[in-house]
Structure 1
């Protein structure tokens, strides 16, 4: 009798759950255009082939189904893809920032990142954002630029040794540079990724990026069952390696603090030092709290920065007129390459460099799309969409939409001149926007400007093959980002 009652309750719960999902599913597919749907797998069947082919297919859907459309998955799951700037603005500028939540797919990052600033929501997100914001104050960035400049000089030495070897895939090289910068500024440690790319930590970071991408594309990726697969076990091994490294660094720095050992001076403090001095509710952050934020900073500031740098150099190599104009601006500002003394103030004042980087981030946004889960009913495209629905905000498409940017495939830094009357607003969001925008965007731009300036002052860039894009969490090129270098 008891088993019959339990069985009845389970069936009733499942039926109610599926009925509610069916109502939302019907609302979305009846009010938004959607590609042809398989009765079981939904629209997943249209995304076949290699990563570049999937990216190309996804971009083609906007031409067929408009700025906003619906994609479906098994068990009545439907999500809205949005590239209408007005709808994106309404979502990102929701004044109730505490209720903003990332899409469910971001949960695949939690074993590594926990619920740090990227994945947190509610009071925890609000508290952490308040704690971390001072880390990117102008005075702190002044200290960070010294690290960026030093690591840029190491990069220049590596590139000099490759200048006579023909085409160079610039991405892995600047990826190592970005890892060196992020480790020193976030944890105060030197991992020597540029000099020792085969160390356990460096290789584990690179492997983790690939492993996370694989999980996102796996049928069980968003379920706990993934942990039982061989790839899930591999991901767990990498996570343990990275956590052990971060835990060791945090423990050592905290011990220094407790023993009154000097760990930083004013603006030269790193991200970890700032977190060690921070309190929440009158209490210091635990080591686990700090690890979440350090790992998140590592994840968000590493591959994204490398993508931005590599694609900017790629575009400059293919547009010699833009490259020459930038070189002249840098030469006027710094004199010769041997006289370059970069500060936050002087690098931020270079208008054409700023325009070049902004246009590069428009054409090749390091994060091609972001996800949100509605926490309240929201008007999208004239339809009231209920809470709980997942959204994909397509940054790449918005920034390539000809209604937002005429001739969008043309690399034209003048779009971002102070005299331009181009209306960008929420059609340009490479760092997201609103209350949950990228907290490290000033850091990222400073990093990009420092290394781009050093490279252009030292080398004339010549073009290699055209890139073949693939859009995972981070925008990359499946065939590498290849250029040629000629010393100036």
Structure 2
């Protein structure tokens, strides 16, 4: 027994990196519904889209919460990722207005400015004859956008690759595959040890520094100093202040959203808005370099809406770019940034389509495999934006889930899509993406626990139009 446990521990990090292949083998061997254990935690894997729909959309009272976090630590347990039940509902209710079309339209001016700075960096690389690593470019842009829109932070992460916040967020993403966390999954006894060690870990110091900076911003805003800034943090503060008086007279006497929620969700916005958006932008550029005919279709649509090279990009104009929408949708089908995260915990014994699911079992949807199922997507590895054309976009509602599914789907979906489209428009109006010696024919993917990443980046060359 001891020998088998040790073997499992040594193999676990290897399994994490090969998780796409592992799940592919399991699906081929066991079918669309099967179970496995992460340590002692039972999971049922679903690739049957009707069952996915029932669990994530129809039976949300039973499958409401995400699986319990491996480590019970801040800033995660007070964020939308970690809160459960009524606490999640009230937190989401406060945060939803931040991401309305009207609020995102206000933030589009910030996105335009950040995209203009990105274009300046691209210009300098073009003038120097350099190939461009679109992932590196996109990561700097995405962190610039989210730090300004969420916290009004003036950071230098686009022009300075050693910017402290950029390095910190790289550490946050890279630590998703922390070996101690993986071992804590395998042996629950290690979780308490990991939680005890956590305050001494470098990762804790990084997150604490970010949270301390957010805390300073909150105190500064409450002091009334400086001019008012309409960003995500301020909107959360407004929501808190608007409900505080009412809440203190209630039987429970608690605010709708507490300071720990402000801190945790500010951190979540930074972390979630960093790599996921950047990956889609980088993969989109890579695909356009490989398929020049599609790139010309997208370019022609952009110039039909924004006719002059110096025409300012507007929120309303961006919404008219349907071909660009199709490109991004197909990019996220082929390369969904988050591949092993769409999951829920079953809170009571239930039966879904004849399958008994006991309370306490987690259901997991392997997004990558659903997106590449030939029964759902004919010739699934072929790049074909026409799949999402008006009139042809008839896929099953559970067959496409780059932003998750159901009430707990990604709250920042519209924000992320607008940022990607703004950046794409800025570059494509001026440059053509073309392959270079460093452009891979087939991307080698690395999986860190839940996300994919292209090994070695995604390099393309630019040609001025």
TM-score higher than 0.5: yes
Worse-matched range after superposition: 128-137 or 281-290: 281-290
1:211 aligned counterpart, secondary structure:
helix
Question: CA separation in 2, counterparts of 1:114 and 1:334?
Answer: 44
Task: Report whether the alignment pairs 1:147 with 2:123.
Answer: no
Task: Report whether the alignment pairs 1:210 with 2:181.
Answer: no
Question: CA separation in 1, counterparts of 2:359 and 2:331?
Answer: 35
Structure 1 regions of 5+ residues with no counterpart?
Answer: 1-37
Query: Which residue does the alignment assign to 1:15?
Result: none
Question: CA separation in 2, counterparts of 1:387 and 1:373?
Answer: 8
CA deviation after TM superposition for structure 1 residue 232, in Å: 6.1
Task: Report whether the alignment pairs 1:226 with 2:194.
Answer: yes
Query: Which residue does the alignment assign to 2:398?
Result: 426
Task: Report whether the alignment pairs 1:470 with 2:446.
Answer: yes
Task: Report whether the alignment pairs 1:355 with 2:291.
Answer: no
Query: Which residue does the alignment assign to 1:377?
Result: 349
Aligned match for 1:183, one of 144, 147, 150: 147
The answer to whether the 8 Å contact 1:41/1:73 transfers is no
The answer to whether the 8 Å contact 2:111/2:422 transfers is yes
The answer to whether the 8 Å contact 2:336/2:367 transfers is yes
Question: CA separation in 2, counterparts of 1:311 and 1:374?
Answer: 35
The answer to whether the 8 Å contact 2:70/2:184 transfers is no
Query: Which residue does the alignment assign to 2:252?
Result: none
Aligned residues: 441
The answer to whether the 8 Å contact 1:204/1:241 transfers is no
Query: Which residue does the alignment assign to 1:343?
Result: 314
The answer to whether the 8 Å contact 2:36/2:44 transfers is yes
Q: What are the Cα deviations for residues 24-54 of structure 1, in whole angstroms up to 9, with x where unaligned?
A: xxxxxxxxxxxxxx96479878766486544
Q: Cα–Cα, structure 1 residues 97 and 144, in superposed 2: closer, same or farther, change >3 Å? A: farther
Task: Report whether the alignment pairs 1:271 with 2:242.
Answer: no
Aligned match for 2:30, one of 65, 68, 74: 65
1:131 aligned counterpart, secondary structure:
helix
Aligned match for 1:194, one of 149, 158, 176: 158
Give the TM-score normalised by the residue count of structure 1.
0.84
Worse-matched range after superposition: 144-153 or 419-428: 419-428
Query: Which residue does the alignment assign to 1:326?
Result: 298
Aligned alpha-carbon RMSD (Å): 2.6
Question: CA separation in 2, counterparts of 1:225 and 1:51?
Answer: 21
Query: Which residue does the alignment assign to 2:458?
Result: 481
The answer to whether the 8 Å contact 1:160/1:487 transfers is no
Q: What are the Cα deviations for residues 88-107 of structure 1, in whole angstroms up to 9, with x where unaligned?
A: 11111145459611123x34
CA deviation after TM superposition for structure 1 residue 444, in Å: 0.9
Q: Cα–Cα, structure 1 residues 72 and 137, in superposed 2: closer, same or farther, change >3 Å? A: closer
Question: CA separation in 2, counterparts of 1:42 and 1:391?
Answer: 26
> How do residues 134-173 of structure 1 correspond to structure 2 at under 5 angstroms?
134-163=97-126, 164-173=128-137
Question: CA separation in 2, counterparts of 1:46 and 1:230?
Answer: 23
The answer to whether the 8 Å contact 1:366/1:474 transfers is yes
The answer to whether the 8 Å contact 2:34/2:46 transfers is yes
Q: Cα–Cα, structure 1 residues 72 and 107, in superposed 2: closer, same or farther, change >3 Å? A: closer
Aligned match for 1:459, one of 410, 431, 437: 431
2:457 aligned counterpart, secondary structure:
coil
Question: CA separation in 1, counterparts of 2:22 and 2:31?
Answer: 14
Q: Cα–Cα, structure 1 residues 233 and 343, in superposed 2: closer, same or farther, change >3 Å? A: same
Question: CA separation in 2, counterparts of 1:206 and 1:449?
Answer: 23
Query: Which residue does the alignment assign to 1:18?
Result: none
Q: What are the Cα deviations for residues 14-33 of structure 1, in whole angstroms up to 9, with x where unaligned?
A: xxxxxxxxxxxxxxxxxxxx
Aligned match for 1:246, one of 211, 214, 225: 214
Task: Report whether the alignment pairs 1:116 with 2:88.
Answer: no
Q: Cα–Cα, structure 1 residues 216 and 324, in superposed 2: closer, same or farther, change >3 Å? A: farther
Q: Cα–Cα, structure 1 residues 356 and 443, in superposed 2: closer, same or farther, change >3 Å? A: same
Query: Which residue does the alignment assign to 2:250?
Result: none
Aligned match for 2:414, one of 418, 439, 442: 442
Aligned match for 2:375, one of 389, 398, 403: 403
Query: Which residue does the alignment assign to 1:29?
Result: none
Give the TM-score normalised by the residue count of structure 2.
0.88
Query: Which residue does the alignment assign to 2:360?
Result: 388
CA deviation after TM superposition for structure 1 residue 272, in Å: 0.8
The answer to whether the 8 Å contact 1:109/1:212 transfers is no
Higher Rg: 1
Question: CA separation in 1, counterparts of 2:91 and 2:140?
Answer: 28
2:27 aligned counterpart, secondary structure:
helix
Question: CA separation in 2, counterparts of 1:372 and 1:387?
Answer: 11
Q: Cα–Cα, structure 1 residues 80 and 294, in superposed 2: closer, same or farther, change >3 Å? A: same
Question: CA separation in 1, counterparts of 2:204 and 2:357?
Answer: 36
Worse-matched range after superposition: 349-358 or 109-118: 109-118
Q: What are the Cα deviations for residues 300-336 of structure 1, in whole angstroms up to 9, with x where unaligned?
A: 2221111111111111111111111101111111123
Structure 2 regions of 5+ residues with no counterpart?
Answer: 248-254
Task: Report whether the alignment pairs 1:87 with 2:51.
Answer: yes
